Amino acid sequence: MQLITTAAVLSALLVHSSTAADDTDFITAAPHAGSATSDLYPPPSTSVDSALFPPEEEVGFPGPTPTGVEPAAIQTAAVYPYNRGPTNQFPLVAPQPHGQSETSDKFDITKYWGNLSPWYSLSSVDYGLPDTSPLAPPGCSVTQVHLLYRHGARYPTSGAAPAQFAEKIANATKKGLQVKDDLAFLADWTYKLGGELLSPFGRSQEFLLGIQHRQLYGHLLNNFTEAGTIPVFRTESQDRMVKTTENFAAGFFGVPEYLDQVSIEILVEAPGVNNSGAPYYVCDNAGIASRGDIGSSVASKFAQNAFNATLARLNSQVSGIEFTPNDVVAMLQLCSYETNALGYSAFCGLFSQEDFLNYEYYYDLAFYYNNGPGSPVSAAQGKGYLQEFVARFTGEYPEAWSALNQTFDNSSTYFPLNQSIYADATHEVVVLDTLTAFNLTALFKGPPLNPKENRKENSFSSSKTVPFATHFTAQVLECSTYQPTKQIRFILNDAVIPVADSYPGCPADPHGLCAFDNVVSVLKDRIDEIDFDHDCFGDYSAEAGVDYNGRAPKKS
């Protein structure tokens, strides 16, 4: 197998409105004008005379600037600062499902958008650890933290379902589309979303994530001060990935301090390039329907009958167009994307609580069978990050990197092994691949997801596991009350994930801790178990309804 190992590095050395309608009359939709890309800010001709706006160091008069000690809230806080979701922060107008009024019991639809949900704090209780939090347990201190996080909220993929739906509405409008009741807003609705880039809310998510981690783990910067070095944070070359890391760094270090307090390494994300942050580009079976793409077809089949009642209601309110199950999914996605990007979406009110539960399950199926234990390639795709984590844990480059960019991962400049803080930005699919490679089975406890209906028998939830700005953390701790004293544990969006059931030699522990050396040994065995070449390039067939533990079946 020939893998391209070229990567580009940037070491900048921190450096609508809703239209009221009569209950019975149709409204004729007006022709749609403009698109999301027609109004650019700032205008292309804009220029700034920087001489008129000198930087801080030229203006002077900074006032007193004494600094305090680095925060260490992970050690000192009495209560962990859980993020309970967007309430009172985002969105600007809290969306309500169809049939729910402002005064009724609240069903927070933003927590049922799958990978389009904003992240919120999970509870360790949900995974069987009722008496712990991310705070350092009594007698323990955090000595190293490893962070793998997803980019923040973004605009839809270019040309995806939301844009296709908008084109369908625009074409129907030209032919005399009529709408009424719940769909009256479509009379003057236009598509306002960009493509691929971080939304303003997405930028804020990463900035706030950076602030949170500085408050929790700022004390670990003292190690860099003592060594006379600065951290290397990594990301991929897509614009939203670069902006994700820059916003995280700005929150962590400050503006403009991040320009010279961290080195940002940008790895090329493109077909054929071997990069742990985008492993699907070097895993041929990833896009094959009977192998790595099982989830996409299973989710699509589920959606064909999941929204029948709502589909009939919506089709009764239009003339000149007929909506399909795929259109329903597109409208649900528009609810998510418009709320994340614009602060409000009229599409949200079209759908019931049951619709949003089915919308969530649609994504659960897709991710469980594409990137979770129901996928035959997910562990192989997560193997790269697993190897990198273990290398950083042990401070040693492995003898062979089977799934990694060796050019950069064997370099102390681009892949240092002695940092007390690591932060890598990637995509949600890679986060889930990595969790599967780590064999964190508590996240997927129960039988494989039923392809036809949500039987609520499995603990997996895509909105909890792979939302916008999701983050997976490994804490290395020194614990005077444990033997051996060096311990480690794993945390996902503030929930401590137990490993006793899946890691031999790890006893049940109320704080999710296990001896560091034992965990490293288990993870090395997992690395050896994952056959990257077979899973990504082998000839085999897989199907939904099976827990493969992320591994391809061996051909008989």
Reported pTM: 0.88
Identify which of 292, 289, 291, 269 has the alpha carbon closest to the alpha carbon of residue 281: 269
Number of domains in the chain: 1
Asked if the structure places residue 37 within a domain, the reply is no
CA dist., res. 300 & res. 293, Å (int):
12
The β-bridge relationship of strands 263-267 and 232-236 is parallel
Query: Whose structure tokens read 């050395």?
Result: 13
Asked if the structure places residue 456 within a domain, the reply is yes
Asked if the structure places residue 278 within a domain, the reply is yes
Query: Inter-axis angle of helices 161-174 and 325-342, to 10 degrees?
Result: 110
At 537, list the tokens.
């390039």
List the chain pLDDT tens, one digit each, 556 residues: 333 333 343 333 333 333 334 444 566 565 554 444 455 555 566 565 667 656 657 767 656 655 567 777 788 777 888 887 654 445 555 667 777 655 456 789 999 999 999 999 999 999 999 999 999 999 999 999 999 999 999 999 988 999 999 999 999 999 999 999 999 999 999 999 999 999 999 999 999 999 999 999 999 999 999 989 999 999 999 999 999 999 999 999 999 889 889 999 998 898 988 889 999 999 999 989 999 999 999 999 999 999 999 999 999 999 999 999 999 999 999 999 999 998 889 999 999 999 999 999 999 999 999 999 999 999 999 999 999 999 999 999 877 666 666 656 677 888 999 999 999 999 999 999 999 999 999 999 999 999 999 999 999 999 999 999 999 999 999 999 999 999 999 999 999 999 999 999 999 999 999 999 999 999 999 999 999 999 999 999 999 999 999 999 987 5
* Amino acid sitting at position 474: A
Asked if the structure places residue 444 within a domain, the reply is yes
Asked if the structure places residue 423 within a domain, the reply is yes
CATH number at residue 408: 3.40.50.1240
Q: Give DSSP secondary structure letters for 185-236.
A: GGGS------SSSBPHHHHHHHHHHHHHHHHHHGGGHHHHHHHT---EEEEE
Asked if the structure places residue 2 within a domain, the reply is no
CA dist., res. 511 & res. 495, Å (int):
11
CA dist., res. 530 & res. 380, Å (int):
6
Q: Structural domain of residue 529, as residue ranges?
A: 117-156+196-307+351-537
First to last CA, the chain: 23
Residue 522 CA, distance from chain mean position: 26
Asked if the structure places residue 395 within a domain, the reply is yes
Asked if the structure places residue 493 within a domain, the reply is yes
The SS3 of residue 43 is coil
